[in-house]
Amino acid sequence: MDNSGKEKEAMQLMAEADKKVKSSDSSDAGHDPTFKYIQCPDACEMYARAANMFKMAKNWSAAGSAFCQAARLHMQMQNKLDSATSFVDAGNAYKKADPQEAINCLNAAIDIYTDMGRFTIAAKHHMTIAEIYESELVDIEKAIAHYEQAADYYKGEESNSSANKCLLKVGSYSAQLEQYPKAIEIFEQVATSTMDNPLLKYNAKEYFWKAALCHFIVDELNAKLAIEKYEGMFPAFSDSRECKLLKKLLEAHEEQNNEAFTEAVKEFDSISRLDQWQTTMLLRIKKTIQGDAGDLK
C-alpha cells in the first residue's frame, strides 16, 4: 500500500501546527491571554496526528520528531502527563530508526514521571532503555545501570517480582563481565526472596545454581562451601539435578579430569538443555582444569 500521500498530509499538518505555535507567540496575540491556550492544544493535536501519519508511511524519525514537538508544547502548557506520554510515543517511534534518540525521549519521559512520583511507570521505561542498550547499541554496562535503576524503583513500590526480574538481568550480565561477587550477591538475594514464596520457590534452585557456578569460577573451595550453605538454606536444592551436577563437576575438577567434567555436562544437557549463559560459565570453569581444550564436546 502506497502511503506517500499520508506523508505529504503529515507534512502539511506539521506546517499548520508550526504556524499556530508561532501565531500564539506573536505580539499580535499579546492582548488576549487566552489566545495561546486555544491555539496550542490545537497544535499539539496536529503534531500527534502528523506523527501517526508518518508512522503509517513508516517514516519513523519524522514520527518521533512530531511526537517530540507535541511533548515540548504540552510541557510549555504544564500538561506534564500528556508531555510524558508524547515523549514515550516519540521513543517508541525512534526505536525503529534511531536508538539513541529513543533513549533521549524515554529519559525525558522518566524525568517527568519521577517528578510526579510515578515510579512504577518510570521503572518500566528504564527497562525499555536497558533493552535498547542490550539489543541495539550493545552497551552492556549501560544496560546494567538501567536495570538496576528499574529494580530500585520497583522495590520502592513493593513490586518485588518485577524488581527481581531486573536484578536477574543484572546478575547474568555482571557474571558475563566477570564481576562475580556482584553476580553472586544478586543471585543469592533473589533466591532467598523467592524460596519463601509458594508460587516462586521452585525457581530458587535455578538462582542458587547460577550463584554456585559464579563461585566455582572464582575458587573451587568457595563453590563447595556455597553449595553446602545453599543445601542448608533450601533443602530442595540437594535433590535438584543442578546440585548433583555441581558435585560431579567439583569431583572432576579436584581430580583435574577433563573427560569426567565434559561427560557430566553432556549427561545433564541431554535432559535439561543448558542455555548460552550456563554454557559460558561452565566453559570458564573447565578452562581452570590443566590441559583443557576449551570446549564441552
For position 182, what pLDDT does the model report? 98
For position 30, what pLDDT does the model report? 45
For position 200, what pLDDT does the model report? 85
For position 23, what pLDDT does the model report? 64
Q: What is the pTM assigned to this prediction?
A: 0.84
The span from the CA of 81 to the CA of 86, in Å, is 9
Domain ranges of the chain: 1-117, 210-297
Q: What residues have CB less than 8 Å from 226, skipping those under 6 apart?
A: 184, 211, 212, 215
For position 9, what pLDDT does the model report? 73
Long-range contacts (CB closer than 8 Å, 24 or more residues apart) made by 148-152: 149/123, 150/123, 150/124, 150/126, 151/123
Protein fold of 1-117:
1.25.40
For position 39, what pLDDT does the model report? 54
Average pLDDT of each block of 10 consecutive residues along the chain (297 residues)? 65 71 55 48 82 89 91 89 95 94 97 97 98 94 98 95 96 97 97 88 93 95 95 92 95 91 93 93 90 55
Q: Is 232 exposed, middle or buried (0-12, 13-18, 19+ CB in 10 A)?
A: exposed
